[in-house]
Amino acid sequence: MIQEYLQKAMQAANYDILEEDQGFYGSISGAAGVWATGSTLEECRQELLEVLEEWVLIGVAMGHELPEFDGVSLKVESVA
């Protein structure tokens, strides 16, 4: 389930070419604070995936509500 969530989130990623050969910038709409840069598009994509994975793990650990991506969501239930 987590892999499907990550894949759907990555499909929602947006990439921009930075000015003056500075590489690429990527972010994921709906995932506040998830962004990355890289000298190549693939490097940027890999870094973005790592940031997303950490963001999800922290969100789950803290009990945050995570956004849905293309009908896929992760439900975090608090343990009392």
Residue 55 lies in a domain: yes
Count of the separate structural domains present in the chain: 1
Measure the CA–CA gap between 9 and 80, rounded to whole angstroms.
29
Residue 48 lies in a domain: yes
Under the banding of pLDDT at 50, 70 and 90, the label for residue 6 is: very high
What pLDDT digit, counting tens, does each position of 9-55 carry? 999 999 999 998 899 999 999 999 999 999 999 999 999 999 999 99
- The set of residues, in sequence order, having a beta carbon less than 8 Å from that of 12 and lying 6+ positions away, is 28, 29, 30, 69, 70
Q: What is the CATH number of the domain that holds 36?
A: 3.30.160.250
Measure the CA–CA gap between 78 and 80, rounded to whole angstroms.
6
Q: What is the pTM of this model?
A: 0.90
| Enclosing domain of residue 15 | 2-62
